[in-house]
Amino acid sequence: MFVCVCSAVSDRQVERALDEGADTLDALAAKTGAGACCGSCRPLLLNLIDEHRYTPALAA
């Protein structure tokens, strides 16, 4: 599923970038291009960043 239509970035690409340490909007934009155009996907990207941050704690 695309999370950023402008840059054609999928949720899997975002998850991979998060796993590689790109855990801010700027870092995700630099690594994948997501959020670097119109910005309408940024709230969703922020949710994915938050989920990524808290998932390890929930699993522990």
How far from chain centre, in Å, is Cα 36?
12
2 vs 23 by CB, closer to ligand FES? 2
How many Å apart are CA 8 and CA 50, to the nearest integer?
21
26 vs 60 by CB, closer to ligand FES? 26
Instruction: Mark the segment that binds ligand FES (CB under 6 A) among 4-12, 13-21, 52-60.
Output: 4-12
Residue 30 near ligand FES by CB under 6 A: no
CB under 8 Å to 11, separation ≥6 — which residues?
1, 2, 3, 48
Residue 6 near ligand FES by CB under 6 A: yes
